[in-house]
Amino acid sequence: MPLKRFDNWPALQASFIEQRRSIPIIWGQNDCVLFSLDQVAAITGLDAAADIRGKYNSAMGAARRMKALYGSPDLSVAATKFAARWGGIEIPTAVCGRGDLVLHRSPEGPALGVCVGRQFVSPGENGLVWLPMKLALRGWRV
């Protein structure tokens, strides 16, 4: 069963995205996984990132942490396992809605993002990057 969102979740999501709009990727603080899971916390109250927050500060450290926790350093494998822990059900990207999480390809490899309608957002070098949903490869209902 998907997580229960707060009644005012659309406003909470908008506020969260606005707060993060100009913050670049910072490994272990505002990378794609923590950004996405911080949005889950903002709209549901569940800190799904508790077991990874503060446990790495580089791409290599993130891969090691994923392998230790989920058996694979590959984000596309780990995402399904950690989503299942908090009730995130995989759904076709065509039915993803605001607040759902998506997996996409970034120049550095697989990355997570947050659906905001016909687009999704994910941290980039200069702040949030807005991309069309047609680039999403997988999705999870929040």
Residue 47 in any domain: the answer is yes
Residue 19 in any domain: the answer is yes
Report how many domains make up the chain.
1
Residue 63's domain comprises: 9-141
Residue 91 in any domain: the answer is yes
- What pLDDT is attached to residue 1? 57
**Prediction pTM value:** 0.94
Residue 49 in any domain: the answer is yes
Mean pLDDT over all residues of the chain?
93
Tens digit of each residue's pLDDT (9 = 90 or more) over 55-86: 999 999 999 998 998 888 888 888 888 788 88
Residue 4 in any domain: the answer is no
116: CATH: 3.90.1720.10
Residue 14 in any domain: the answer is yes
Percent share of the chain, pLDDT over 70 = 99
Tens digit of each residue's pLDDT (9 = 90 or more) over 18-27: 999 999 999 9
Burial class (CB in 10 A: 0-12, 13-18, 19+), 55: middle
Beta carbons of 43 and 137 less than 8 angstroms apart: no
Residue 124 in any domain: the answer is yes
